[in-house]
Amino acid sequence: MVDLIESGFSPYTDARVVVEGLDLADRTAIITGAGSGIGAETARALASVGAEVVMAVRRPAEAEALAAEITEAGRGSARVEALDLSDLASVRAFVARWGARPLHLLINNAGVMACPLSRTADGFEMQFGTNHLGHFALAVGLASALERGAKALGRPSRLVALSSIGHRRSGIHFDDPHYRKRAYDKWEAYGQSKTANALFAVGFHARFKDRGITANAVHPGGIMTPLQRHLPREEMIAFGWMDESGKVNDRFKTPAQGASTSVWAATAAALEGIGGLYLEDCRQARPFDPAMPFAGVMDHARDPKAADRLWAISLDSVGLG
């Protein structure tokens, strides 16, 4: 069996511990959904060691105070830019504003989970459209910026795509990814979008590694954040995520702990030049084994043929085909 990449950090390591001793003063990072949850903690950690962080969020006014706090506390800086991943016009506008500036880290962190059936501004099912297609359009649009960043530093730029253990719920329903013909299931739709995030990392790395950009997928773990906004308390109790009194299951991480694998993927020397992987708990994930139900990645989220098929339909969907 091939040796898997390990970090030496525990699953519950704080993100700021992961970056201790690093100097990212020469790096610029874009983090989507950085206004709260693990995105905010990812921004804190990277800025704490000198990075210039761009917090790409849907409601920028609400993130300004956080950006100021991060800038004041860290060696680097944080600023806010508007980005609505559920609207391709907003994605294109963000890419146009970025222009020719080099970029070194792109962390596709934002997401929506288990929402009622709804559609994006472009008519896509909300979870697939936001979690995958919005990020797909953003990353492809910024690929030249990432390439410039790699050339400027003489080392690969990195893309980090947040997936989830939820990928186990569904592969990609290529014939009807947007639930136009079949009954909607919020958890299947979430699972499909998280499989898409993992396959996107496989597909992006294969296409851009020779241009100096690596891409890996990350499962951050279970964390209570605004991602659960669509879930009734009763449902979370039924899942065992919390008890009747509201105490969160001890297996869950804090947001700062949940950000650690994203930060490790973005900075670890052990991952320099390496991509197409699925990472969890600050290590490369093992293939799924039913005997270890809370760890591992399923084959359908690593399948290069599925990644190629997804890439083709994604290009067409966002108008790049």
Please identify every residue annotated as catalytic.
190
**Three-class DSSP category at 187:** helix
Torsion of CA 163, 169, 175, 181, to 10 degrees: -120
3-state secondary structure string across 15-70 = HHHHCCCCCCCCCEEEEECCCCHHHHHHHHHHHHCCCEEEEEECCHHHHHHHHHHH
Quote the CA–CA distance of 113 and 139 in Å, as a whole number.
Answer: 21
Q: How far apart are CA 158 and CA 117, in angstroms?
A: 33
Please state, in angstroms and as integers, the Cα–Cα distance from residue 287 to each residue in 206, 281, 284, 293, 295, following that order.
20, 14, 10, 11, 8
User: What are the structure tokens assigned to 281, written together?
Assistant: 């708990």
**Residue-wise burial string across 139-149, b where 16 or more C-beta atoms lie within 10 A, e elsewhere:** bbbbbebbbbb
HSE-CB of 229 using CA atoms within 13 angstroms: 7
DSSP string, 226-284: GGGGGS-HHHHHHHTSB-TT-PBPTTPBPHHHHTHHHHHHHH-GGGTT--S-EEETTEE
Closest CA to 192 of 219, 164, 216, 215: 164
3-class state of residue 176 by DSSP: coil
CA-based torsion, 298, 299, 302, 307: positive or negative: negative
